[in-house]
Amino acid sequence: ELKVEQNPLFLSMQEGKNYTIYCNYSTTSDRLYWYRQDPGKSLESLFVLLSNGAVKQEGRLMASLDTKARLSTLHITAAVHDLSATYFCAVGAGANSKLTFGKGITLSVRP
């Protein structure tokens, strides 16, 4: 059974500082997703990582994938209040990309 773990579940960040959050998964997969969710809203796709060593960047967020270590990281550069949200990682399995989600990490950026 595929398990996806995100730690910590809550992170308080200070504006302007850098942070990294992690996503570990238990079995081989070559598809890793990062989503953002604001309270009461749907999921917004941030990154789709499809191969070992893949790195993608969008604004202050950069995601990477190490399939050998079964680990993805999401690096936040110079945190700003607008990044406050819950971030989910999910791992895709099979041709139909059935997703298994982590429990999410709630990020709160304080002044």
Partner 1 sequence: NAGVTQTPKFQVLKTGQSMTLQCAQDMNHNSMYWYRQDPGMGLRLIYYSASEGTTDKGEVPNGYNVSRLNKREFSLRLESAAPSQTSVYFCATLSDWYEQYFGPGTRLTVT
DSSP tally for the chain: helices H, then strands E: 0, 11
The count of chain residues that interact with partner 1, using the rule CB under 8 A, is 23
Q: Which CB sits closer to partner 1, 17 or 41?
A: 41
> Max Cα separation, the chain?
44
Which residues in 40-99 contact partner 1 (CB under 8 A)? 41-43, 45, 48, 50, 88, 90, 92, 95-99
Tokens 């059935």: give the residue.
98
Q: Per-residue x/- marks for partner 1, 4-43, CB under 8 A?
A: x----x---------------------x-x-------xxx
Q: 3-state DSSP call for residue 70?
A: coil
- For residues 63 and 7, give the distance between their C-alpha atoms in angstroms, rounded to a whole number: 15
Q: For binding to partner 1 (CB under 8 A), which residues are involved?
A: 4, 9, 31, 33, 41-43, 45, 48, 50, 88, 90, 92, 95-104
